Structure 1
Amino acid sequence: MSSQVRLRLLPSARCLFDEPVQVKVAGLRSRQVVTLRAGSTDERGVLFRSSATYRADETGEIDLDRDPSLSGSYVGVEPMGLLWSMKADTLHQQFQKMNSLNPHVVKFSVHEEESEGRILAEETNERFLTRQGVSRLPVKEGNIRGVLFTPPGEGPFPGVLDLYTFRGRLSEKKASLLASQGFVVLSVVAYGYDDMPRNIKEVHLDYFEEAIEFLKKQDKVASKGVGVISLSKTGDVALSIASYLPDVKATVWINGCCANTALPLYYKKSQIHPALMFDLSKVIPTDSGASIVRYVMKNPLAEENKASLVPIERAKGHFLFAAGEDDLNWDSKAYMDEMVARLKRHGKENFESLSYPGAGHYLEPPYGPYCPSSHHWIVGAQVLWGGEPRSHAAAEVHLWKKIQEFLRTHLSCDATRSKAKL
């Protein structure tokens, strides 16, 4: 490495996962062209990498907040482009960062264009999922399986139920980051977690009712009602939670459906919604080896499927709907438009809707690698998720801020109640 070239990450090389850093290089020759690279290994050992070519200014400095990439994984001024543009060496890999205990470690480096890319400088960025002082408590109580995240301090704090998926491991990313911003968050997986059955045939709202009651009993939770945050299949579960269960004041729906999908929904041992099913003959294969499944879900508005529609007009709380217009999992934008129209027909104004052109299905907390395709647990094959990387990354930044504002606005806290509980 060159002793005079310096690579700096500002304000610090240690930050939260959802915080931007300013990448700066100094000590280069005037107008020198170099390649900046970033690399990270996920929890499965899969390597993700990106690179971009930059030209230094007259003083030998590069500032990614100011200077455009000339070529590489992206072009133009993209301060965090090296992070969101990272790709795996093999196709159809989704970056796995599930456990909140370990930081997302990214190695940045500066390379000469000549001399076989000799490294001139490097720096390591540790991107933590929890702020110092946030507690993490695994929960295995009654039927509940999940993890509870609690911010430091006396509170009171708003309580949020985080729904992830019905298969595989529990993702702690959203929950731990929200806790770092002052929310008590219980992240649960309804089925297929630890000792729970994996070959599920139905969903029960009773499970989520139990989880909400557990969350409300936590000493630091003093919000007048709880929030729910969801993505994809759990979006329709969140709609049903908000529509049928009391004390849900704020529901975040991201790229879900307006109807109960895939599995019938039960409450108090009675079926309340049949499942809106899919037609796998409408899967569209592509040359990449991943398929397009956007058109496989049956029409929820067809007469024979209307019993699967969730009656969101029953909900007492508020909704935040967010849809990626290029979602290739299903037509999230059309589902969102139908829900907005339904609420308006019932004279409701308890919602906000956000539509993101160029965004795909997996809208997550910002600055993680964009996922164009990966394995779909229902289809049982590799699928395309849609989206253009730059637009998708921008949507994640905007949505993440809106989610926090929405939850704070609609989950007011009672300090007196919190002190009484303590």
Structure 2
Amino acid sequence: MSSQVRLRLLPSARCLFDEPIQVTVAGLRSRQVVTLRARSTDEKGMVFSSSATYRADGSGEIDLERDPSLRGSYIGVEPMGLLWSMRADTLHKWFQKTHSLNPHVVKFSVHEEEEGRLLAEATNERFLIGDGVSRRPVKEGNFQGVLFTPPGKGPFPAVLDLSTFMSEKRASLLANKGFVVLSVTVYNDKPNNVKELHLDHFEEAVNFLQQQTEVGSKGVGVVSRSKGGDIALSLAAFVPGVEATVWINGCCANVALPLHYNKSQILPALMFDTSKMVPTESGAAMGKYVLHNPLAEENKATLVPIEQAKGHFLFAAAEDDLNWDSKAYMDQMVERLRRHGKNNFESVSYPGAGHYLDPPYGPYFPSSLHGVVGKPVLWGGEPRSHAAAEVHLWKKIQEFFRTHLSCDATTD
């Protein structure tokens, strides 16, 4: 390792998962060409890595906020490119970061272009849970999850985070922003063992949130993606107190499982035809069009009556989602609300983004094993566009909740 070459991560080598950093190199020869690498290991032990080649300026310095990558995992000026372009060596692996207590650790390094000799290195610890945020597992009645509470007495707005399978990432990061967040899953059992879903169980989670002493919002928000999306829509339509609903890359109808509420079925299931899965050479299948048409006469009973909702909606659709026809479903919901004279919604779509829109700066993955289907599927998206969409949407979600989940700051 070269003693005079310095790799710096600014403003600090320790930051939150969703915070950008500035990567700089100093002490190189004038116009020297070097390769920067990033490497991380996920919770399953899978290694993800990226590399990009840069040319130093006349002073022997490189700044990723200013200088373009000449070749490698990405090309051009991409300050956070080494993070979002990390990929696994093995096909169809998603970056598993579902637990909040351990940071996402990324090792950055600078290497000579020709010999590959290590010149400098630095470690970036990217935390999911910030200072003072409390994490508490919850098991109450018919639901279980994890509750994240910001430091202080509040009052804070409350958000229910619906994940298809358990993940604490989005919930813990939202708690860092000043929200009390309860993360719960759609499936508490193996999907094949689940024959129906009960909206009452999710309503219990909503009520639990509203009873927390730190919560000051008069209602709660819900953030969801994929199958969680139609559960979120149903909460907004049927359950009092849901004031703000974020729907990301889901469906406008109740998918796959009948939905019950107050001891009766309220929505039948929109079913799917797996023969419409399109195989690809990579071994992953494209499932975008497997769902039956929710607007067909025989399927209209599966549509969630979102016009009944008293709260507000934020619809976000990735235009290159290869798992759901999300943009079409979003357009159908917008048209439905307008037809009913409603303007309680906003919508945003992202060209070049895929299904898995997450909080930003995690590795992009184009395909992985589908937890319900049981085989690899394509999620879609072009890495650079997908990464930009995650940055934009993450800010938009926070603004939306702050706008529609007002807190009463008065005390008794």
TM-score (norm 2): 0.99
Correspondent of 1:180 among 176, 200, 221:
176
Q: How does 1:14-413 map to 2 (within 5 A)?
A: 14-115=14-115, 117-165=116-164, 167=165, 170-192=166-188, 199-413=193-407
The secondary structure found in structure 1 opposite 2:215 is coil
The secondary structure found in structure 1 opposite 2:156 is coil
Tell me how far apart the structure 1 counterparts of residues 398 and 328 of structure 2 sit (CA, whole Å): 25
**Does the 8 Å CA contact 1:149/1:185 hold for their aligned counterparts?**
yes
Deviation digits for residues 223-276 of structure 1 (CA, Å, limit 9, x no counterpart): 010000000110011000000000000000000000000101000110011110
Partner of 2:10: 10
The percentage of counterpart residues that share the same residue type is 78
State the 1:130 CA deviation.
Answer: 1.0
The secondary structure found in structure 1 opposite 2:209 is helix
Deviation digits for residues 67-116 of structure 1 (CA, Å, limit 9, x no counterpart): 0000000000000000000000100000000110000000000000122x
Q: Which amino acid aligns with 1:206?
A: D
Tell me how far apart the structure 2 counterparts of residues 221 and 47 of structure 1 sit (CA, whole Å): 39
State the 1:388 CA deviation.
Answer: 0.3
Deviation digits for residues 24-82 of structure 1 (CA, Å, limit 9, x no counterpart): 00000000000000000000000000000000000000000000000000000000000
The secondary structure found in structure 2 opposite 1:177 is helix
The unaligned stretches of length 5 or more in structure 1 are none
State the 1:190 CA deviation.
Answer: 3.6
State the 1:197 CA deviation.
Answer: 8.7
Number of equivalences: 412
Tell me how far apart the structure 2 counterparts of residues 265 and 143 of structure 1 sit (CA, whole Å): 15
The secondary structure found in structure 2 opposite 1:238 is helix
**Does the 8 Å CA contact 1:145/1:190 hold for their aligned counterparts?**
no
Q: Which amino acid aligns with 1:184?
A: V
Tell me how far apart the structure 2 counterparts of residues 371 and 269 of structure 1 sit (CA, whole Å): 40
Deviation digits for residues 365-394 of structure 1 (CA, Å, limit 9, x no counterpart): 000000100011232210100000000000
Deviation digits for residues 129-186 of structure 1 (CA, Å, limit 9, x no counterpart): 0110000000012222100000001211000000001x4xx10001000000000000
State the 1:192 CA deviation.
Answer: 2.4
State the 1:191 CA deviation.
Answer: 2.9
Structure 1's consecutive aligned runs of 4 or more residues displaced over 4 angstroms after TM superposition are none
Q: Which amino acid aligns with 2:136?
A: L
Q: Which amino acid aligns with 2:280?
A: T
The unaligned stretches of length 5 or more in structure 2 are none
Tell me how far apart the structure 2 counterparts of residues 245 and 141 of structure 1 sit (CA, whole Å): 18
Q: Which amino acid aligns with 1:137?
A: R
Say if 1:197 and 1:84 are closer, same or farther in 2 by CA, change over 3 A. Answer: closer
Aligned-CA RMSD value: 1.0
Tell me how far apart the structure 2 counterparts of residues 175 and 8 of structure 1 sit (CA, whole Å): 30
Q: Which amino acid aligns with 2:178?
A: G
Q: Which amino acid aligns with 1:172?
A: E
Say if 1:83 and 1:92 are closer, same or farther in 2 by CA, change over 3 A. Answer: same
State the 1:198 CA deviation.
Answer: 6.5
State the 1:20 CA deviation.
Answer: 0.1
The secondary structure found in structure 2 opposite 1:368 is coil
